[in-house]
Structures are given as structure tokens and as C-alpha cells.
């Protein structure tokens, strides 16, 4: 031990590892081990309290060739993900608006950002009330304006359920995207626009040739965060629709939950999780590659 | 190429006026430098000329045409910014070609013009680089390239060398001067650096708190400053400015303690009593023997001596006022010791302290 502390370099190493270890331990126990265990599980037959048996690709075959619910959940996840580009376009428009020199712009910024830090379960419950067909505000307003005669049971309808949860999801994240894009906007030096004005570029040229290219890292950061959110939006779906009606709002994440904790098919759920993990990894890599490998960075010389 | 004219040009922000109705006529092909301390309105005036700031009052004319309501892109000007303002996501080539895309220039013509500009500025090997991959001097050259491909009527420079180190600044100064000689385009150049102003300008415009104090050749503003401000601003080290009072009809007394008498210029019609006496450091020497004609001797104490190489600066306390003398490098007075300075009062300047104007 005394030897270990003699050299400056080894003293530094001990110090570094001492600081790293607690975080690494948490990471190992809550991330790495479950992930490895999950992969092992997906190749096994296993239910709680029984020894595991090797199953090979059995669960994967079932999932890909015989389980329609999996494909519905996958398709729904893809549809749900389309909320991200919509949210980004909205966030961009809002960011451009609140970047103007308008009265009370910090108030607007705060109001638009406000939903993001709210607990998602609370967001889900509020929106469930808004959508309610007998006491919901949305139906009340639509009926008062004479747009509809009969109340629409948004969350109980096959036609509206998916769109309705997507609206809630977009509402919740748009403020966060707006802040990211606003930060990107404010990092673009004013002189660039002045140079472009003198160079003869009109407002829409300046947007397409300067603003948008320089916002690319911010936008792709939003894309990645949006993809993550759509893969992990368990709480929102669970509180609003529970995946229903039928499978109308079933996402991969809620399907995994149901397979394991409702149907006790932990081994099967593990296989779905592996597929979801791989899809997610692929999308994140593609998004980061498209962002030039530096999502979130502000690309300004100097 | 074109002339530029300011007529009673005013800039106001709310109720706060920063440019107070200035008049200025810039000749065709002239290199004009606006110089002054920060906040004097020089950059604001340039930005109004560029169309980046609204004009609160008066008129700006480019080539005899009032441009107050003309969009920047239609003013036929090009501007070089202090921080270069290069588009970071575009190559050097694209940066230089950018403006031509918006002027319906054919592709082939764009190529020819960018290549031409690149050759003039020695940028041929850097055309594919991004601004990030360039040094400060190279970036500044790209910014100038972007301006010259346009072949504009007027070049505007807004403190273009301020972000460069001293050595590079010197060489870029030369390049700008050569470029102007080669292209002959009317140029308006803003700087707070009087050396840049003196070396580059055909004419210098000295601005002070939103007004023009003096317009003239570099020699004019150096040798015949019209106000106390110009006298103190142009020249380094600055001109010695000492308070003085009238004593009799044609003489004044300079200083309060270690006084000396000086003749006012012969035709002085000034009837005020308070003056400022100005004399440049190079017009002061260390005295030896009796004063010659046109010189006055004063006694002081040596404060600081700075040996610059080609000459030496002696800072002396004369009756409570600091006086700077630029003397031969072999002269090395001792610090803290009395010194007798010889002032060439034939080269002195006299200003009324109230109006700040020169006594002529």
C-alpha cells in the first residue's frame, strides 16, 4: 500500500478511480448487468422461480413471424416517432418568433418551455381530462362552437387515439426543442446576417443558406432526443390510453411492459427489448452521422 | 466607382442622438478614413452608409443618388467586418461566390471572378478550405475577396484589422493600400487606430462625440489640428497640451508655477483669455546654452525615460504638468534630476480653451 502512494502518477490514478467507482458501480448494476442479462434472457426459456433453458432464436422467430401484435406495436412506434419532425418544425417556428425583438418575449419563452419539466404522468392525466368526452375542455369548445354535434371520445376511438397522444407528446416536448433551437439561433453572429444582407440575400435566402445550415447540429440534437422520447414514452401512453383501444396506441415499450408484467413472458419481452434496443441504436447512429458527428454543437469559426 | 456624400446626417436611438448632422463629401476613388475614439459615431455612420442602420435625419448619396430608402443589396457596396463575418459552413470559394449567386451572375462568370479575386489576394490554394481552417490574416483576406468579386462602387471597412496581432496588422495594412491602388474603388474605412488612419488615408476624418472635428490629409490633421481634440488624438505620444492665460495683448503665460511667456500668432483676433498651448514632443529638445530665436527654455524634473531605439522619450514634470519630449537616442537624462527643456514655439499650436478651436 505504501508503495502505491509513493509515485505521484499512481496517487493520481487512485484518486481518479476513487471518484469514478461509485458512478461506475451504479452504471454496472443498473445498466450493464440488466442489459447483458436481458440479452441472455432473450435466448432462453425462463419464468420467475424456474431455471433457464437455452431457447436459441425461438422468441425471435415467434416475434418476427407469428406475433402480429409486435408488428402493430412497431408500426405504432414508427408513427409516434413522426411527432418528432412535427415538433421540430413547430419549435423552429416558435424559436424564430421569440428570437424577434418583441415585447414580453421572455414570458413567451417561459410559457412555451413550461410543459417540459412537468412530470409526464401529470401531463398524461391533464390531457386525458382535456380529451374526455363528457367533461373534457376540447369537446366542450368544439361543441360550443358548433363544429361537432356529438362528443368525440378521442382516447377511446381507433381513429383519434394515436393522433391524440401524439398531440400531448408534441405539446410536452416542443418547448424543450424550442430552447435548443433558440440557443442555436442566438449563437449565430449577427454580422453573418449583415454580411448576407449586403451580399444581396433576401430573408428566405438567409434562412435557407445561413440559419438552417448553422442550426443543423441543434436540429439533430432534437432528432436524437425525439427518437429517444418516442422509444421511451411509456408513462404518457400508460396514463393516457394504456396502449388501447385494442392495440391502437400500443408502442414497443408498452408492449414489452405488458408481455413481461401482465403476461409474465419475461423471456419473450427480453427478445422484443433487444430488437428495440438495436433499432434505437441504429437510428441514433444515423442521426448523429447526418449531423456530421457533432449533434448539439454550434458550428461557428472561432 | 462613385462619390459618396453625407448631408446633415443624423442618427438617433430613441431620444439619444449619437450622430449630430454631419456633412461630408467623399471623392470618386478616394480612400477616406473615419477615425475617432469608441462611441464617436464613426461605425454608426458607416453602417448607415451600408444600410444596416436606418438614417434618422439627413441624406446619404452614393453617386449623386439619395440612398436613404435603398436596400443594402441595391446600394452597390461591399463591406468588410471586424470579425470577418465569413459563412462558417461554406468553403472559401462559396464564401466569395455567395453574393454573385444573388445577382444573376452566370456560373462561368462567377468562377472567373472568384478566381480573379483569389489571385489578387493569393488565396488560390485555400479555395476549398473552411474559414475555421484559416489563420486570422487569411480569413481577413477572404473577407476582402468576398468584397472585391462584387466589383462594387464603394468599399466599406469596419475596423478590419482590429482582431489581428500587431505584426500582421502592419502587413495587412500594406495589402489594403496596394489593393486600393490597384482597384481604385472609393473606400470608406473606419478605425480607432490613428496609425492606420495616417498610413492608409487620402483624407482623414476625425470624429468626436458624433461630430466631425476635422477633415484633411494626414499631414493636415497632424501638422495643423483644428481643435484640441484632434491635436490630442492624432500623434503618438500625444501632443503636450498646457493651460495658458492671456498676459497683455499678444502674449500668453503658459503653466501655473513654472511659467513662461509665448507670443500669440500675429493675426490672432481671439478675445478670450484662457488658452491651451500645444506642442508636439518632437518639437522639444534638451536645452544647451541660451535659447535661440523662436525657442523658449523651461525647467522641469525628469520622471520617466523611455528608450525606444530610434529615439528616446523623456517625460518631465514641468510645474505640475507632464511634458513629453522626443529626443535623440544618445541623450539619457537621469531620472529625478532637473532638466532644462527647449521648446520650439514657432511650431506650437494655440487653442481657445472654451471653444476648443485653434487660434489662427
Res B267: pLDDT: 55
DSSP 3-state of B156? strand
CA–CA dist A167, A26 (Å, integer): 35
Interior CA angle at B112 toward B108 and B117, to 5°? 145
Question: Which residue stretches of A159-265 are H helix?
Answer: 161-186, 190-199, 203-206, 212-232, 234-240, 252-257
Res B205: pLDDT: 95
Interface contact A199-B102, CB threshold 8 A: yes
Residue with cell 480612400: B31
Q: Which of A296 and B130 is assigned the larger pLDDT? A: B130
Residues 6+ positions from A250 with CB-CB distance below 8 Å: A69, A72, A73, A76, A243, A244, A258
A200 touching chain B per CB within 8 A:
yes
Q: Which of B197, B275, B279 is nearest to B240 (CA)?
A: B279
Q: Which of B187, B159, B137 is nearest to B27 (CA)?
A: B187
A201 touching chain B per CB within 8 A:
yes
Read off the pLDDT of residues A128-179 as tens digits, 9 standing for 90 and up: 888 888 888 888 888 888 788 887 778 788 888 898 899 999 998 999 999 9
Res A293: pLDDT: 62
- The DSSP-derived string for B124-168 is GGGTT--GGGS-HHHHHHHHHHHHHTT--SEEEEESTTTTS-HHH
- The DSSP-derived string for B234-297 is SSSSPPEEEEEEE-SSSEEEESSSS-EEEEPPTT-----SEEEEEE-GGGEEE--SS--TTEEE
For residue A300, pLDDT over 60 is answered with: no
Pick from A187, A189, A191, A195 the residue to mutate for testing the B interface (most B CBs within 10 Å).
A195
pLDDT in tens, chain B (360 residues): 689 999 999 999 988 999 999 999 999 999 999 999 988 999 999 999 999 999 999 999 998 889 999 999 889 999 999 888 999 999 999 999 998 988 888 999 999 999 989 988 888 899 999 999 998 889 999 999 999 998 899 999 999 998 888 888 888 899 899 999 999 999 999 999 989 999 999 999 999 999 999 999 999 999 999 999 999 999 889 999 988 888 776 677 777 766 777 777 655 556 777 888 899 999 999 988 887 777 888 888 999 999 988 999 999 998 888 999 999 988 888 899 999 999 998 888 988 888 888 886
What does the block give as the cell for A196?
448576407
DSSP B351: E
The conformational region for residue B312 under phi > 0 = left, psi -120 to 50 = alpha, else beta, is: beta
By Cβ distance, the residue of A201, A205, A214 closest to B89 is A214
Q: Which residues of A touch B86 (CB under 8 A)?
A: 301
Res A230: pLDDT: 85
DSSP 3-state of B5? strand
What does the block give as the cell for B177?
493600400
Q: Which of A5 and B44 is assigned the larger pLDDT? A: B44
Interface contact A198-B51, CB threshold 8 A: yes
C-beta atoms surrounding B264 within 10 Å: 19
Interior CA angle at B99 toward B93 and B103, to 5°? 125
Distance from first CA to last CA of chain A, Å, rounded? 48
Res B146: pLDDT: 92
For residue A49, pLDDT over 80 is answered with: no
User: Partners of B326 in the beta sheet?
Assistant: B313
CA atoms within 13 A of residue B12's CA, in its CB half-sphere: 9
Q: Which residues of A touch B54 (CB under 8 A)?
A: none
**Are the C-beta atoms of residues B218 and B210 closer than 8 Å to each other?**
no
What does the block give as the cell for A35?
442489459
Nearest C-alpha in A relative to B143: A195
Q: Using 50, 70 and 90 to split pLDDT, how confident is the model at A301? A: very low
CA–CA dist B193, A74 (Å, integer): 66
CA–CA dist A28, A83 (Å, integer): 33
Nearest C-alpha in A relative to B53: A194
Q: Which residues of A touch B83 (CB under 8 A)?
A: 189, 191, 302
Residues 6+ positions from A231 with CB-CB distance below 8 Å: A77, A251, A252, A253, A276, A279, A280
Pick from A192, A198, A214, A299 the residue to mutate for testing the B interface (most B CBs within 10 Å).
A198
Interface contact B50-A195, CB threshold 8 A: no
Q: Does the interface ipTM go beyond 0.85? A: no
Residue with cell 509515485: A7
Interface contact B98-A201, CB threshold 8 A: yes
CA–CA dist B302, B317 (Å, integer): 6
Interior CA angle at A60 toward A58 and A62, to 5°? 70
For residue A20, pLDDT over 90 is answered with: yes
Residue with cell 444573388: B102
Q: Name the strand (E) or helix (H) holding B352.
A: strand B349-352
User: Partners of B285 in the beta sheet?
Assistant: B342
Distances (CA, A) of A176 to A23, A114, A234, A273: 27, 9, 19, 27
For residue A302, pLDDT over 70 is answered with: no
Res A196: pLDDT: 93
Q: Which residues of A touch B51 (CB under 8 A)?
A: 197-198
Domains annotated on chain A, with CATH: 82-249 (1.10.3720.10)
**Are the C-beta atoms of residues B219 and B195 closer than 8 Å to each other?**
no
Domains annotated on chain B, with CATH: 4-232 (3.40.50.300), 238-352 (2.40.50.140)
Q: For CA atoms B233, B238, B243, B244, give the dihedral sign.
A: negative
Pick from B44, B76, B98 the residue to mutate for testing the A interface (most A CBs within 10 Å).
B98
Res B230: pLDDT: 94
Q: Name the strand (E) or helix (H) holding A44.
A: strand A44-45
Q: What is the mean pLDDT of residues A32-47?
A: 86
A192 touching chain B per CB within 8 A:
yes
Read off the pLDDT of residues A164-218 as tens digits, 9 standing for 90 and up: 899 999 998 999 999 999 999 998 998 999 999 999 889 899 999 999 999 988 8
CA–CA dist A158, A178 (Å, integer): 31
Q: For CA atoms B163, B165, B170, B175, give the dihedral sign.
A: negative
- The DSSP-derived string for B20-67 is EEEEEEE-TT-EEEEE-STTSSHHHHHHHHHTSS---EEEEEETTEE-
Res B234: pLDDT: 92
**Are the C-beta atoms of residues A233 and A241 closer than 8 Å to each other?**
no
By Cβ distance, the residue of B85, B103, B132 closest to A200 is B103
What does the block give as the cell for A79?
408513427
Amino acid at each position: 500500500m505504501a508503495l502505491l502512494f509513493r509515485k505521484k502518477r499512481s496517487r493520481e490514478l487512485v484518486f481518479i478511480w476513487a471518484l469514478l467507482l461509485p458512478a461506475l458501480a451504479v452504471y454496472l448494476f443498473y445498466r450493464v448487468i440488466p442489459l447483458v442479462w436481458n440479452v441472455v434472457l432473450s435466448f432462453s426459456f425462463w419464468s420467475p422461480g424456474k431455471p433457464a433453458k437455452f431457447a436459441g432464436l425461438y422468441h425471435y422467430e415467434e416475434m418476427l413471424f407469428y406475433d402480429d401484435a409486435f408488428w402493430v406495436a412497431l408500426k405504432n412506434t414508427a408513427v409516434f416517432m413522426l411527432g418528432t419532425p412535427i415538433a421540430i418544425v413547430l419549435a423552429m417556428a416558435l424559436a424564430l418568433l421569440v428570437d424577434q425583438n418583441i415585447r414580453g418575449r421572455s414570458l413567451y419563452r417561459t410559457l412555451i418551455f413550461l410543459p417540459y419539466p412537468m412530470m409526464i404522468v401529470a401531463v398524461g392525466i391533464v390531457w386525458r381530462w382535456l380529451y374526455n368526452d363528457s367533461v373534457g375542455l376540447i369537446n366542450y369548445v368544439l361543441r360550443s362552437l358548433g363544429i361537432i354535434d356529438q362528443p368525440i371520445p378521442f382516447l377511446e376511438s381507433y381513429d383519434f387515439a394515436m393522433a391524440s397522444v401524439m398531440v400531448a407528446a408534441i405539446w410536452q416536448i416542443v418547448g424543450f426543442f424550442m430552447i435548443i433551437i433558440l440557443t442555436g439561433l442566438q449563437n449565430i453572429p449577427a454580422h453573418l446576417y449583415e454580411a448576407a444582407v449586403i451580399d444581396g440575400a433576401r430573408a428566405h435566402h438567409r434562412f435557407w443558406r445561413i440559419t438552417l445550415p448553422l442550426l443543423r447540429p441543434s436540429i439533430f440534437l432534437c432528432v436524437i432526443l425525439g427518437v429517444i422520447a418516442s422509444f421511451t414514452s411509456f408513462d404518457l401512453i400508460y396514463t393516457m390510453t394504456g396502449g388501447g383501444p385494442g392495440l391502437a396506441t400500443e408502442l414497443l415499450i408498452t408492449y414489452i411492459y405488458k408481455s413481461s408484467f401482465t403476461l409474465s413472458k419475461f423471456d419473450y419481452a427480453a427478445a422484443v427489448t433487444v430488437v428495440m434496443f438495436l433499432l434505437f441504436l441504429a437510428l441514433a447512429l444515423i442521426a448523429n452521422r447526418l449531423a456530421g458527428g457533432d449533434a448539439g454543437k454550434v458550428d461557428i469559426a472561432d | 466607382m462613385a462619390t459618396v456624400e453625407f448631408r446633415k446626417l443624423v442618427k438617433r436611438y430613441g431620444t439619444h442622438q449619437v450622430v449630430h448632422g454631419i456633412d461630408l463629401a467623399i471623392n470618386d476613388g478616394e480612400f477616406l478614413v473615419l477615425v475617432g475614439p469608441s462611441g464617436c459615431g464613426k461605425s454608426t455612420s458607416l453602417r448607415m452608409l451600408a444600410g444596416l442602420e436606418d438614417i434618422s435625419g439627413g441624406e446619404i448619396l452614393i453617386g449623386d443618388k439619395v440612398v436613404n430608402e435603398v436596400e443594402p443589396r441595391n446600394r452597390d457596396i461591399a463591406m468588410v467586418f471586424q470579425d470577418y463575418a465569413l459563412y462558417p459552413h461554406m468553403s472559401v470559394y462559396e464564401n466569395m461566390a455567395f453574393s454573385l449567386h444573388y445577382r444573376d451572375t452566370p456560373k462561368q462568370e462567377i468562377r472567373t471572378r472568384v478566381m480573379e479575386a483569389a489571385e489578387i489576394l493569393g488565396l488560390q490554394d485555400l479555395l476549398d478550405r473552411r474559414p475555421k481552417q484559416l489563420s486570422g490574416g487569411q480569413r481577413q483576406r477572404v473577407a476582402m475577396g468576398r468584397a472585391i468579386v462584387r466589383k462594387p462602387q464603394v468599399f466599406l471597412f469596419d475596423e478590419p484589422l482590429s482582431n489581428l496581432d500587431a505584426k500582421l496588422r502592419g502587413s495587412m495594412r500594406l495589402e489594403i493600400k496596394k489593393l486600393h491602388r490597384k482597384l481604385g474603388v472609393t473606400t470608406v474605412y473606419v478605425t480607432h487606430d490613428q496609425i492606420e488612419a495616417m498610413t492608409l488615408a487620402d483624407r482623414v476624418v476625425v470624429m468626436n462625440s458624433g461630430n466631425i472635428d476635422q477633415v484633411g490629409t494626414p499631414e493636415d490633421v497632424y501638422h495643423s489640428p483644428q481643435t484640441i481634440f484632434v491635436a490630442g488624438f492624432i500623434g503618438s505620444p500625444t501632443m503636450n497640451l498646457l493651460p495658458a492665460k492671456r498676459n497683455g495683448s499678444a502674449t500668453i503665460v503658459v503653466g501655473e508655477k513654472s511659467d513662461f511667456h509665448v507670443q500669440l500668432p500675429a493675426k490672432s483676433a481671439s478675445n478670450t483669455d484662457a488658452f491651451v498651448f500645444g506642442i508636439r514632443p518632437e518639437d522639444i529638445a534638451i536645452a544647451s546654452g541660451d535659447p535661440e530665436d523662436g525657442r523658449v527654455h523651461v525647467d522641469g524634473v525628469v520622471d520617466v525615460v523611455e528608450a525606444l531605439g530610434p529615439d528616446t522619450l523623456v517625460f518631465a514634470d514641468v510645474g505640475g504638468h507632464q511634458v513629453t519630449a522626443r529626443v535623440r537616442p544618445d541623450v539619457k537624462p537621469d531620472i529625478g534630476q532637473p532638466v532644462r527643456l527647449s521648446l520650439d514655439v514657432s511650431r506650437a499650436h494655440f487653442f481657445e480653451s472654451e471653444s476648443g478651436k485653434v487660434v489662427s
